[in-house]
């Protein structure tokens, strides 16, 4: 039986793609048939999150993207401006088909949860229709408490079980950074892990840092039965 874990962010640019790649690589290293699924990619080219994951994992089987849109805008807006029919029900059906192809799908979000996706539907609608569990990727510094707590609340209202939170690019350089993980655990009652800034000359090196930072127990929690 296949399962789907949504990797969502509090905003754009928080690190969803590198966390998605790290988790996909970690599961594949353990022999799990895991694959990242990107419903729609805007800003293409040059942006291509699925290609990043595939390169990091060393195989095209590790990721797929269903729709590409050129302008770096919300998918609904980019599609409308390109006169490209982007219908929610069709996108949902395509995502469901792709998620059922593998035993574990990592559904990567697009920006934040309230980003307009297609018609009057938003990213959170697709997440709620496809995934019963999620991991939230957020920034580590000042301001993340409010954004993260609201994101968790929004998912829980849609009956998506948030299994964990990842504070990305964590350096502990400020009081806010050092105290945020503990405060997020207290506020949300969810486990929080931190990923330090990672660097490298290619996607594989970048993802190695993320994969090594996320504990086995954290990833196990994402797929354990409720």
Residues recognised as catalytic: 38
Residue 124 tokens read as: 């959170």
| Long-range Cβ contacts of 195-199 (<8 Å, 24+ apart) | 195/15, 195/18, 195/19, 195/22, 195/166, 195/167, 195/168, 195/169, 195/170, 196/169, 196/170, 196/171, 197/169, 197/170, 197/171, 198/18
Percentages (nearest 5) of helix, strand, coil residues in the chain: 45, 20, 35
Tokens, residue 130: 């496809």
Query: What residues contact 213, with CB distance under 8 A and at least 6 apart?
Result: 22, 193, 194, 195, 196, 198
Of 49, 44, 38, 64, the C-alpha closest to 13 is 49
Which letter does DSSP use for residue 190 in this model? -
Do the strands 161-168 and 192-195 form a parallel or antiparallel pair, or are they unpaired? parallel
Which two three-digit tokens encode residue 24? Answer: 């996909």
């Amino acid at each position: 039986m296949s399962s789907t874990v949504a990797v969502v962010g509090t905003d754009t640019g928080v690190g969803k793609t590198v966390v998605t790649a790290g988790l996909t690589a970690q599961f594949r290293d353990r022999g799990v048939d895991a694959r990242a699924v990107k419903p729609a990619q805007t800003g293409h080219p040059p942006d291509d999150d699925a290609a990043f994951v595939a390169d990091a994992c060393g195989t095209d089987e590790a990721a797929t993207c269903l729709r590409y849109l050129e302008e770096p805008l919300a998918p609904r807006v980019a599609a409308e401006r390109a006169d490209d029919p982007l219908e929610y029900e069709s996108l949902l059906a395509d995502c469901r088909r792709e998620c059922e192809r593998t035993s574990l799908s990592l559904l990567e979000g697009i920006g934040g949860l309230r980003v307009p996706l297609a018609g009057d539907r938003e990213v959170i609608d697709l997440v709620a229709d496809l995934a019963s569990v999620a991991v939230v990727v957020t920034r580590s510094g000042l301001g993340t408490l409010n954004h993260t707590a609201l994101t968790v609340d929004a998912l829980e209202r849609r009956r998506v079980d948030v299994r964990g939170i990842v504070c990305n690019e964590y350096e502990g350089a400020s009081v806010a950074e050092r105290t945020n993980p503990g405060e997020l655990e207290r506020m949300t009652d969810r486990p929080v892990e931190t990923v330090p800034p990672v660097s490298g000359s290619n996607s594989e090196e970048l993802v190695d840092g993320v994969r090594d930072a996320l504990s086995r127990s954290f990833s196990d929690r994402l797929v354990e039965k409720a």
